[in-house]
Amino acid sequence: MKPHVLFVTDHLNTGGAPIVVRDLCVALDRAGARMTLIVLSDRVAHELPDSVTVHRLPYTATGWLQRQRRYRNHAQMLDAFLDTHLLTDASLVVAHLHHAHQVVSRSQLKDNAWYCLHADPTIGFLGNKRGLDRLRKRRQVRKLYQGHRLIGVSQGILDSLATTFRVQGNPGVALHNPLDLEAIALRSQETVTDVPEDYLLYVGRLEQRQKRFDRLLCAYADSGVGIPLVLIGEGGARHFIETEIERLGLQGRVLLLGKRENPYAYMRRAHALVLSSDYEGFPLVAVEALACGTPVVSTDCPTGPSEILIGELARYLVPLNEPASFANTLRDVVDNPVPVSATTVAHLNAEQVARRYLALAGK
C-alpha cells in the first residue's frame, strides 16, 4: 500500500521555498507515495503532475476580529476539509512556511505534523524587532515550535532555533533540499549566446537587504579580476545596483541580464558563482552551480553555505564583513579554481532526499 504524504503550505507562488515544496512533491510522487498538497491560499504558480492531488483552501478575514483569529479560523476550516475529504490517514504530514505552521499547530494535525523551516529564524523573526517586541516574538516562536517535530533545510536553522529561542525539536532533523541532477545536467548543455566567454555569475533575486549587492560589487571592484560579472535575476534592487555600478566605475564590466528561464546553461559556462548574502536558509542556487561543475564563492552567512562548501571547496567561504577577504577570494577562484566533481552534490539527488522524508513516517 502506498504511503500517504500530506503537505500543507502557505502558497505555491514565487520564492525558493515554494520551488522546494514543488520539487519534494514530485520526488515523493516518483518514489511511490500518494501525494496530497493543501495550499492555504489561491497563490499557485507552479504546475504539478496530475498524480499529485492539489487542494486550495484560502481564508479571507473580514474585519478586525477575524484578522485577530485568522489562524484559529483557518485551522477550523482545515479540520473540516480534512474530515470531509477523508485526509486524516496520512502517514507523514509536513507543514511548510510560517502561516501553515500557525494553522497546523491549531488543527487536528498538530501533534503528528512535522514543521519545516526554510529560512534562518533569527533573521526572519527578529530581524526588525527591538526591545519588548523582540522579547515577545521570542516567546511566541518558542511556544509555536518547542517540543514539536521539526525539519530544518539546513542544520544551521535548527542551531539558530536552539541558540536564539531555546527551542529543541522532538525530534529535530536537518534535511537538505532536493535536486533533479539529471534535469540540471541536461538543461545546462543548452546554448547561450548573450554572455562573454568567461565571467563570474550571480543568479537570484535582486534584493539588497538579504543579498547585499553593495558587498558583492565592492569586492568585485577591489579584486581587480579581469573577467566580467554577470547578474541574472529581477527585483527591486536593480536601480540600486545600477547606481553602484556607476559609482564604482564598473560600467561595461557588470552585466545585468534580467531573468533567464534556464540559469543552468549560464552556470555551466561561468568561471564561478558568487553569493554575498547576509543570511540564507539553504541556498539552492549554490548547489545547482556545483551540480553544473562550477565552483562557488559565498559569504559564510547563517545558514547553509558552510554545509554546502565543504572539503576543498571551503576555501571559497568568506567571513561576513571582511571585504578584503571577499576580494582576495574572488581573485583566488579566478586564478586557482578548484575542480568540482560530479559527485559533490550527489547526496542531494531528489530520489535520495525523498527516501529521507519517507523515513520520517511513523517517527
For residue 33, what pLDDT band results from cuts at 50, 70 and 90? very high
pLDDT for residue 363 is more than 80: no
Whole-angstrom distance, CA of residue 58 vs CA of residue 344: 41
**pLDDT in the model for residue 281:** 84
Q: How do beta strands 53-56 and 34-39 pair?
A: parallel
Phi, psi of 43 (to 5 degrees): -85, 90
Task: Give the residue range(s) of CATH 3.40.50.2000 domains in the chain.
Answer: 4-178+348-358, 181-344
Whole-angstrom distance, CA of residue 33 vs CA of residue 297: 37
Residue in 45, 38, 84, 92 with CA at minimum distance from that of residue 359: 92
Buried b (16+ CB within 10 A) or exposed e, 234-250: eeebbebbeebbeebeb
- The separation between CA 97 and the C-alpha centre of its own chain, rounded to angstroms, equals 11
Region 297-301: mean pLDDT is 96
Residue entry with cell 511556544: 143
Nine cell digits for residue 60: 479571507
Under 8 Å between Cβ of 324 and 174: no
Whole-angstrom distance, CA of residue 316 vs CA of residue 341: 16
Question: If you classify domain 4-178+348-358 with CATH, what class do you get?
Answer: alpha beta
Tens digits of per-residue pLDDT, 97-146? Answer: 999 999 999 999 999 999 999 999 998 898 888 899 999 999 999 999 99
C-alpha distances (whole Å) from 99 to each of 10, 39, 41, 95, 249 are 6, 11, 10, 9, 44
pTM: 0.89
Residue entry with cell 571559497: 316
Q: Is the dihedral of CA 21, 27, 31, 33 positive or negative?
A: positive
Under 8 Å between Cβ of 93 and 115: no
The three-state secondary structure class of 202 is strand
262: left (phi over 0), alpha (psi -120 to 50) or beta: beta
Region 51-64: mean pLDDT is 94
Tens digits of per-residue pLDDT, 72-88? Answer: 999 999 999 999 998 98
**pLDDT in the model for residue 219:** 97
Tens digits of per-residue pLDDT, 140-186? Answer: 999 999 999 999 999 999 999 999 999 999 999 999 999 999 899 99
C-alpha distances (whole Å) from 282 to each of 75, 119, 153, 313, 330 are 29, 7, 6, 16, 22
Nine cell digits for residue 181: 541532477
pLDDT for residue 244 is more than 90: yes
Whole-angstrom distance, CA of residue 286 vs CA of residue 43: 27
Nine cell digits for residue 89: 490517514
In CATH, the number for domain 181-344 is 3.40.50.2000
**pLDDT in the model for residue 165:** 96
Nine cell digits for residue 33: 507515495
Whole-angstrom distance, CA of residue 180 vs CA of residue 334: 28
Q: 127-131, 215-219, 247-251, 308-312: lowest mean pLDDT where?
A: 127-131
Buried b (16+ CB within 10 A) or exposed e, 141-164: beebbeebbbbbbbbbbbbbbeeb
Q: 12-26, 40-54, 88-102: lowest mean pLDDT where?
A: 12-26
**pLDDT in the model for residue 15:** 80
Region 256-276: mean pLDDT is 96
pLDDT for residue 342 is more than 80: no
Side-chain-side CA neighbours of 118 within 13 Å: the count stands at: 21
Nine cell digits for residue 62: 473580514
**pLDDT in the model for residue 127:** 83
Nine cell digits for residue 111: 501533534
Whole-angstrom distance, CA of residue 115 vs CA of residue 102: 10
Q: 128-132, 205-209, 310-314, 318-322: lowest mean pLDDT where?
A: 128-132
288: left (phi over 0), alpha (psi -120 to 50) or beta: alpha
Region 185-195: mean pLDDT is 95
Bridge partners, 95 (sequence order):
8, 115
Region 299-309: mean pLDDT is 92
Q: What is the mean pLDDT of the chain?
A: 94
**pLDDT in the model for residue 303:** 85
**pLDDT in the model for residue 1:** 78
Residue in 172, 181, 179, 128 with CA at minimum distance from that of residue 154: 172
Whole-angstrom distance, CA of residue 121 vs CA of residue 142: 11
